Amino acid sequence: MDPIVSKKWLLARMYEPDLVIVDCRFELGRPTAGQEAFAQSHIPGTIYLDLEVDLSSPVSTYGGRHPLPDPDVLAKRLSQAGISNNSRIVAYDDQGGMYASRLWWLLRWLGHDSVYVMDEGFSAWKDGGYPITDAQPTIIPASFVPNLRHDMLADMNEVKQSLSDHGVLLVDSRDASRYAGEQEPIDAKAGHIPGAINSFWKQVLDDSGAWKSDQLLSSQFSRLTEAMDKGQEAIIYCGSGVSACPNVLALHKLGYSQVKLYAGSWSDWISYEENPVATGEE
């Protein structure tokens, strides 16, 4: 099944007992904004999971700005939120699917396939006249047992080894100016990992903010898919392992399995002083 589901699809199934809807709204620089937006209005029955509280570990010396959560800690949080191994999960946000895709990736990393991202996001749901509420959901705890897929993840050493490996293609998901090192509003160094190509994550969306068709996605990722069709592996990164997730999702949607996320991403890479930095175009 397509990992991107429509508003109408969700509306038709939102009260089915095995379905859990998760609000992932968040704003960098305003860490309480998502929770406040959820308290004001959300899709009925939805639970809220916070990028930094629930879907990341605390920041340390290495690991980037949004380190992956400990799998057992995340599994416990999912259980508390009423998510079991038998649940179908639909995630949404209001930021083009960036944060919802993080939850999609995390659940698949934990071995759970029945997870989807709602197309267009909460504002489109609300503006379309679909039901909303400010009522807090009643949560019945469940049991989620993780079964980690280690092959979905790349660490810094694997990325470093890929610099001299023609069988691996590095993909930077940040916007072109950050990739080129022309500006860096967040991290301590500007530029990209040497050899990486640039594919800004927002290019998975059309002008209306909806996900592009598979045909358009295939055209957009042609350089990457041609390489993977020849047996190459892709490692996707961004600033902190969040906005890379829509690109990973898009490639999964197109049927490519040899795709890894460098979860620490640029913010982890530059935390090692000896790591090389490139600027400009590749």
Taking only the tens place, the pLDDT of each residue in 50-59 is 999 999 999 9
Please write the tens of the pLDDT for every residue from 100-125.
999 999 999 999 999 999 999 999 99
| Residue of 21, 47, 89, 238 marked catalytic | 238
What gap in Å lies between CA 76 and CA 81, rounded to an integer? 9
Average pLDDT over residues 61-77: 98
Q: Phi/psi zone of residue 64: left (φ > 0), alpha (ψ -120 to 50 degrees), beta?
A: left
Three-state DSSP class for residue 142: coil
Give per-residue pLDDT as tens, 226-267.
Answer: 999 999 999 999 999 999 999 999 999 999 999 999 999 999
pLDDT above 70 covers a percentage of the chain that reads 100
**pLDDT at residue 282, as a whole number:** 83
According to DSSP, the β-strands at 233-237 and 115-118 are unpaired
Whether residue 24 lies in the annotated active site: no
Confidence grade of residue 143 (pLDDT, cut at 50, 70, 90): very high
Phi, psi of 220 (to 5 degrees): -65, -40
> What's the pLDDT at 113?
98
pTM: 0.98
Report the chain's mean pLDDT, rounded to a whole number.
Answer: 97
Q: Cα separation of 52 and 59, whole Å?
A: 9
Give the amino acid at 180: A
Question: Could you tell me which residues come within 8 angstroms of residue 192 by beta carbon, excluding any fewer than 6 positions away?
Answer: 172, 174, 179, 180, 181, 198, 266, 277, 278, 279, 282
Query: Is the separation of the CB atoms in 248 and 238 below 8 Å?
Result: no
**Is the pLDDT confidence value at 39 over 90?**
yes
Distance CA 59, CA 82 (A): 27
Write out the two tokens for 103.
């939850």
pLDDT tens-digit series, residues 196-218: 999 999 999 999 999 999 999 99
Q: Are 139 and 67 a contacting pair, CB within 8 Å? A: no
Return the SS3 of 247: helix
